[in-house]
Chains A and B, each alone.
Chain A
């Protein structure tokens, strides 16, 4: 298990491809606990993660970004859709098993405390996965101590401590070390720095950059913090109610946002300049409930430019500028008055 997975398809082949992923959660409530309504957490979403890049995923609560993380990790089984890891279909006759996927894809969770077993010492937590994959206990412990050093924690001081004896930042370093214990190629960071104080967040972000370079990792970085996503990502995917509304290079998304939702998200950021305070909120209201998303374009209920066509037809992702956008205003001949 020690061999680092080889790059099979060459640098041009995406590391991970997901096509038409769908996950609906039934809400029990009807007669005899039968589900009458569903939360449409992720709806027919396709994405690719290129080798060596950091793909940022942004969106508000209920947009399905955490569900995407768990689908990519197969902690949740998708209702439909396929995944291909470096050319190998996942969980299909001629492909690789879910367990093999999980060796190459790992995840760091937001809640640094809940993601560590309070009854295990740090070194026991780190050695768990390597041992489960058949590494002898002594070697697993040695690797765990190496990993601790890699994430900036002195093994002599930290290996035998319990999670409650660590600060939030230290615990999150342990979680990152755990994700690296199986030498994965792709690490999914689900709000991994969101709960940290700013000064600690900066330490961890620097460390993530270093680890990526040292181990040749690929990241999927999920966050609600647009600034952090901009800092870390090469490409950015903006989600709204289970759908991708815009995806493209970080410069395109932040420099020339095309979807009204992306524009609103970006201008909702505090200005950091007392002379240029925000005068007016870019959009009103809260994100709607993903149980009954609006017909057509799901953003239309909050969109200042919504027209009849937005309620009737669902806009598909379409190249516009340097990115892809799902908005009728960017689709030629869509029927929207602002369409080109």
Chain B
């Protein structure tokens, strides 16, 4: 099956009179229909910038893009005007962290969803409202007919997020972009929304790119996970590969420093230091200054993205495997100690 979205060597640079930021420095990945790609990274890693570039959401006058983003073969980066509007309205939808800002507070939810449907499909008023009700049902919103008449502030955070998902689906997109959609939600609500996104993705055969800083969330929704650091994908692989046998020292560090139940009383393995300032294009491995396996060649040139195993790409010169080969075999499994604190079999 051909790729729904293919991103090749994407670079994004923000230029303002005060400073230049090289936010994304050569990111390549693809997403198929019916697949969820999780992009995991900490603040400043470029994960959201990558996601927003797919819709060219950054202000044109101070953003420099290069590389290629192809949606079903059409180049997004060269789109302008009508083509871009069609991309944003009919082919790709996005949901955000804060649903409150996605809705206009002075109109009802139903009005806003119906308006969007009318604008994009030319349906009649009553058909559009009928469709809006279906969408709320699709987003598992209880008593949808009443909810259509509700204003955004009358809904709880979880309901608003569901309504935003309904709005996002109103144009039958083939690709759904999710930018930390559950970060602002409570734990018991977060899991409901994650499950909803997973179900909808399966039902509607959507491609989904799910950006998050939370490893647990990424593991819960993704088929494949990409880890970003300093504007680059440092590792990309199937969710089981990533959890069972992470290759990049940064991924391993993230997993090790994520607190879970089995760690009580142990010292946490924190990654020392802080991410680099992206005022300049990294000339070496960006993670090397914080990496305990770093050596001369890590500082000589940026490492290439190479296949460690089938479908598992790593941006590391590879000495890590030799340095820790024994270590890895014994310890990798401790990363997936589950919530009850025992190590799962297999």
Give residues in A with beta carbon < 8 Å to B: 60-61, 167-169, 197-203, 205-206, 209, 224-228, 230-231, 250, 254, 264-266, 268-278, 280-287, 289
A sample of 9 inter-chain contacts (CB < 8 A) reads: A197-B42, A202-B259, A206-B267, A268-B191, A269-B339, A271-B338, A272-B219, A272-B337, A282-B191
Question: Please, how many angstroms separate the alpha-carbon atoms of A287 and B260 in the complex?
Answer: 25
Tell me the minimal C-beta distance from B180 to chain A in angstroms. Answer: 13
Q: Which of A205, A270, A286 contacts B219 (CB 8 A)?
A: A270
- Residues on the A chain within 8 Å of B271, using CB: 199, 202-203
Question: Please, how many angstroms separate the alpha-carbon atoms of A278 and B187 in the complex?
Answer: 13
Question: Please, how many angstroms separate the alpha-carbon atoms of A244 and B219 in the complex?
Answer: 32
Contact with A along B231-243 (1 / 0, CB 8 A): 0000000011001
Are B268 and A254 within 8 A (Cβ)? no
Are B214 and A60 within 8 A (Cβ)? no
Given the known A-B contacts A60-B187, A226-B187, are A280 and B216 also in contact in the complex, defined by CB atoms under 8 Å?
Answer: no
Q: Which of A168, A205, A276, A286 contacts B338 (CB 8 A)?
A: A276
Q: How large is the interface on B (under 10, 10 to 19, 20 to 34, 35 or more residues)?
A: 35 or more
Are B257 and A202 within 8 A (Cβ)? yes
Are A202 and B270 within 8 A (Cβ)? yes
- Residues on the A chain within 8 Å of B264, using CB: 230-231, 250
Question: Please, how many angstroms separate the alpha-carbon atoms of A199 and B191 in the complex?
Answer: 23
Q: Which of A197, A227, A277 contacts B43 (CB 8 A)?
A: A197
Are B192 and A281 within 8 A (Cβ)? yes
Question: Please, how many angstroms separate the alpha-carbon atoms of A287 and B219 in the complex?
Answer: 25
> From B244, which residue of chain A is reached at the shortest CB distance?
A274
| B220 interface contact, C-beta 8 A | yes
Known: A227-B260, A272-B219, A272-B337. 16 other contacts (CB 8 A): A198-B254, A200-B270, A200-B274, A202-B259, A202-B269, A226-B187, A227-B258, A228-B259, A231-B264, A268-B188, A269-B216, A270-B216, A271-B338, A272-B215, A276-B338, A281-B195
> From A261, which residue of chain B is reached at the shortest CB distance?
B188
Question: Please, how many angstroms separate the alpha-carbon atoms of A73 and B215 in the complex?
Answer: 34
- Residues on the B chain within 8 Å of A209, using CB: 267
Are B192 and A272 within 8 A (Cβ)? no
Question: Please, how many angstroms separate the alpha-carbon atoms of A230 and B271 in the complex?
Answer: 21
Are A274 and B261 within 8 A (Cβ)? no
Which of B17-25, B130-138, B156-164, B169-177 forms part of the interface with chain A?
Answer: B156-164
Given the known A-B contacts A270-B217, A270-B219, are A281 and B259 also in contact in the complex, defined by CB atoms under 8 Å?
Answer: no
Q: Which of A168, A270, A278, A286 contacts B157 (CB 8 A)?
A: A286
| B83 interface contact, C-beta 8 A | no
Question: Please, how many angstroms separate the alpha-carbon atoms of A328 and B60 in the complex?
Answer: 60
Contact with A along B250-264 (1 / 0, CB 8 A): 000110011111011
Tell me the minimal C-beta distance from B278 to chain A in angstroms. Answer: 13
Question: Please, how many angstroms separate the alpha-carbon atoms of A268 and B254 in the complex?
Answer: 21
> From B257, which residue of chain A is reached at the shortest CB distance?
A202
| B200 interface contact, C-beta 8 A | no
Across the A-B interface, the 6 shortest Cβ-Cβ residue pairs: A270-B216, A202-B257, A60-B186, A286-B156, A202-B270, A197-B42
- Residues on the A chain within 8 Å of B59, using CB: none
Question: Please, how many angstroms separate the alpha-carbon atoms of A199 and B45 in the complex?
Answer: 13
Tell me the minimal C-beta distance from A336 to chain B in angstroms. Answer: 22
Are B259 and A201 within 8 A (Cβ)? yes
Question: Please, how many angstroms separate the alpha-carbon atoms of A286 and B270 in the complex?
Answer: 34
Are A61 and B186 within 8 A (Cβ)? yes
| B190 interface contact, C-beta 8 A | yes
- Residues on the B chain within 8 Å of A264, using CB: 188
Question: Please, how many angstroms separate the alpha-carbon atoms of A273 and B338 in the complex?
Answer: 7
Given the known A-B contacts A270-B191, A280-B195, A281-B195, are A227 and B259 also in contact in the complex, defined by CB atoms under 8 Å?
Answer: yes
Q: Which of A200, A254, A266, A270 contacts B220 (CB 8 A)?
A: A270
Max chain A C-beta neighbours (<10 A), residue from B216, B257, B272: B257
Given the known A-B contacts A264-B188, A283-B188, are A199 and B339 also in contact in the complex, defined by CB atoms under 8 Å?
Answer: no
- Residues on the B chain within 8 Å of A278, using CB: 191, 194-195, 220
Given the known A-B contacts A199-B253, A202-B269, A202-B270, are A272 and B187 also in contact in the complex, defined by CB atoms under 8 Å?
Answer: no
Are A272 and B339 within 8 A (Cβ)? yes
| B189 interface contact, C-beta 8 A | yes
Given the known A-B contacts A226-B187, A274-B239, are A203 and B270 also in contact in the complex, defined by CB atoms under 8 Å?
Answer: yes
- Residues on the B chain within 8 Å of A265, using CB: 187-188
| B213 interface contact, C-beta 8 A | yes
> From A270, which residue of chain B is reached at the shortest CB distance?
B216
Are A199 and B270 within 8 A (Cβ)? yes
Are B257 and A198 within 8 A (Cβ)? yes
Question: Please, how many angstroms separate the alpha-carbon atoms of A284 and B191 in the complex?
Answer: 10
| B344 interface contact, C-beta 8 A | yes
Tell me the minimal C-beta distance from B135 to chain A in angstroms. Answer: 19
Are B216 and A198 within 8 A (Cβ)? no
Are B263 and A231 within 8 A (Cβ)? yes
Tell me the minimal C-beta distance from B186 to chain A in angstroms. Answer: 4
Are B339 and A266 within 8 A (Cβ)? yes
> From A195, which residue of chain B is reached at the shortest CB distance?
B43
- Residues on the A chain within 8 Å of B274, using CB: 167, 169, 200
- Residues on the B chain within 8 Å of A167, using CB: 274
- Residues on the A chain within 8 Å of B268, using CB: 202-203, 205-206, 231
Are B259 and A231 within 8 A (Cβ)? yes
Max chain A C-beta neighbours (<10 A), residue from B190, B259, B336, B346: B259
